[in-house]
């Protein structure tokens, strides 16, 4: 029999008013949901059709074991050449269990990290690749545009890792043990941003404890956000973390964020950074962003099909005296096309053509 107290409790619980901020956004849910559906679909396609070839390529590239002998795994010995898989580890994010795996090209020192889902056989999302220096002394951060995942490469000795990010990190330092490749001289951590999966995964600092117990907390080149004026008169905030290899652009529309993985061209053109970001809202155009030497002008993009969109070019002074160019690709996430070339003119008038 229901008591008066129970009735009052029912009414009180029913009248509780959660803060309006607790209500999820439809666009974010649909975006995440469609991404998850896509991963399932891709996996089915792989399994159902080109299974042999796809699996062979995948396992050779980032498969967790791919037929390697035990002494080839990190922690045993450091092979001199070849692409070796890293020991996968699992982490828990707000949407479920995530498997973090990857491979390391020893000769080229290129680290490729993949983030999977609850189903370990689902085709994982590949994070932006990282070029790892011979000796890791500062943190290197990899953020995939539009995803909440943050990969950090740290010195192998790092413990008690903490990440200060915008938006706040959830379970930073505890998600995924600092596994990875200690025998290779670095450790990899995985963390996930709290709240809705937005693209402004801007890591401000990374802290860790060294083997001697010293606490280090820095990215070394933290740059406070600067306000940039866009071509159409609107303003946005931007900040660049060179060592982290992250450029983040906030705005101009409220709630619009872009995180751009820098460094794609670093090897060949140290002064030119490039990356591509997309908004959390899939209906918003994709952008290409470039950080160019001071005085650069005439940045243009040409698609693979030869079409050159009428870009909303934005040139503005960027931190370090450089020039920041954002080009509206005029395409949504649904129909974005690969970029064939990117050209720009330096201060001396010389035209440079880059192929991403």
Interface residue list for another protein (CB under 8 A): 3-19, 21-24, 26, 28-30, 32-34, 36-37, 40-41, 44-45, 92, 94-96, 170-171, 194-196
To another protein, the closest distance from the beta carbon of 276 in angstroms equals 23
To another protein, the closest distance from the beta carbon of 187 in angstroms equals 22
To another protein, the closest distance from the beta carbon of 279 in angstroms equals 18
Structure tokens at 37: 């559906």
To another protein, the closest distance from the beta carbon of 282 in angstroms equals 11
For 134, residues 6+ apart whose C-beta sits below 8 A from its C-beta are 109, 185
Q: Which is nearer to another protein, 34 or 302 (CB)?
A: 34
Q: Which is nearer to another protein, 15 or 81 (CB)?
A: 15
To another protein, the closest distance from the beta carbon of 343 in angstroms equals 36
To another protein, the closest distance from the beta carbon of 119 in angstroms equals 11
Q: Which is nearer to another protein, 94 or 185 (CB)?
A: 94
The DSSP line for 204-238 is EEEEEE-TTS-EEE--S-----EEEE-TTS-EEEE
For 286, residues 6+ apart whose C-beta sits below 8 A from its C-beta are 276, 277, 278, 279, 329, 331, 332, 333, 336
Structure tokens at 152: 């950090």
Structure tokens at 133: 């220096």
Q: How many CB atoms lie within 10 A of CB 139?
A: 26
Q: Which is nearer to another protein, 22 or 348 (CB)?
A: 22
Residue 7 CB-density burial (10 A; 0-12 exposed, 13-18 middle, 19+ buried):
exposed
To another protein, the closest distance from the beta carbon of 201 in angstroms equals 16
3-state secondary structure of 19: coil
Exposure class string for 206-240: b at 16+ Cβ within 10 A, else e: bbbbeeeeeebeebeebbebeebebeeeeebbbbb
Q: Which is nearer to another protein, 223 or 284 (CB)?
A: 284
To another protein, the closest distance from the beta carbon of 59 in angstroms equals 24
Q: How far are the Cα atoms of 69, 297, 329, 342, 349 from residue 345, in angstroms, in the given order?
A: 50, 5, 19, 10, 6
Give CA torsion, residues 105, 139, 141, 320, to 10 deg: -110
Do the Cβ atoms of 344 and 292 come closer than 8 Å?
yes
To another protein, the closest distance from the beta carbon of 160 in angstroms equals 17
Helices (H) and strands (E) in the chain, counts: 3, 25
Q: Which is nearer to another protein, 29 or 57 (CB)?
A: 29
Q: Which is nearer to another protein, 8 or 160 (CB)?
A: 8
To another protein, the closest distance from the beta carbon of 1 in angstroms equals 13
Q: Which is nearer to another protein, 18 or 349 (CB)?
A: 18
Q: Which is nearer to another protein, 38 or 108 (CB)?
A: 38
Alpha helices in the chain (DSSP H): 4-15, 26-48, 51-61
Give the residue from 75, 284, 348 showing the smallest Cα distance to 188. 75
Q: Which is nearer to another protein, 109 or 171 (CB)?
A: 171
């Amino acid at each position: 029999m229901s008591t008066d107290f129970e009735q009052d409790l029912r009414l009180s619980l029913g009248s509780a008013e959660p803060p309006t901020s607790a209500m999820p956004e439809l666009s974010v849910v649909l975006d995440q949901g469609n991404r998850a559906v896509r991963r399932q679909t891709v996996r089915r396609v792989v399994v159902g059709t080109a299974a042999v070839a796809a699996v062979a390529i995948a396992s050779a590239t980032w498969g967790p074991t791919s037929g390697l002998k035990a002494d080839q795994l990190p922690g045993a010995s450091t092979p001199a050449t070849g692409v070796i898989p890293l020991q996968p580890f699992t982490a828990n994010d707000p949407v479920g269990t995530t498997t973090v795996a990857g491979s390391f090209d020893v000769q080229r020192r290129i680290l490729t990290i993949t983030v999977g889902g609850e189903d370990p056989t689902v085709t994982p999302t590949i994070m932006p690749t990282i070029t790892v220096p011979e000796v890791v002394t500062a943190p290197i951060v990899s953020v995939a545009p539009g995803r909440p995942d943050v990969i950090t490469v740290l010195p192998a000795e790092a413990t008690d890792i903490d990440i200060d990010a915008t938006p706040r990190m959830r379970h930073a330092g505890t998600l995924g043990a600092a596994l990875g490749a200690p025998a290779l001289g670095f450790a990899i951590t995985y963390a996930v941003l709290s709240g809705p999966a937005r693209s402004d995964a801007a890591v401000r600092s990374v802290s860790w404890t060294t083997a001697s117990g010293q606490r280090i907390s820095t990215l070394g080149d933290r740059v406070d956000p600067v306000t940039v004026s866009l071509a159409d008169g609107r303003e946005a905030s931007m900040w660049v973390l060179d060592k982290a290899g992250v450029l983040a652009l906030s705005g101009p529309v409220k709630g619009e964020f872009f995180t751009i993985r820098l460094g794609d061209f670093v090897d060949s053109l140290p002064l030119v950074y490039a990356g591509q970001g997309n908004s959390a809202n899939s209906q918003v155009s994709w952008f290409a962003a470039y950080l160019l030497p001071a005085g650069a002008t005439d940045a243009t993009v040409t698609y693979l099909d030869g079409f050159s969109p009428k870009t909303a070019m934005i040139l503005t002074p960027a931190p370090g005296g450089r020039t920041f160019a954002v080009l509206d690709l005029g395409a949504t996430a649904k129909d974005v096309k690969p970029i064939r070339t990117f050209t720009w003119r330096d201060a001396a008038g010389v035209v440079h053509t880059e192929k991403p």
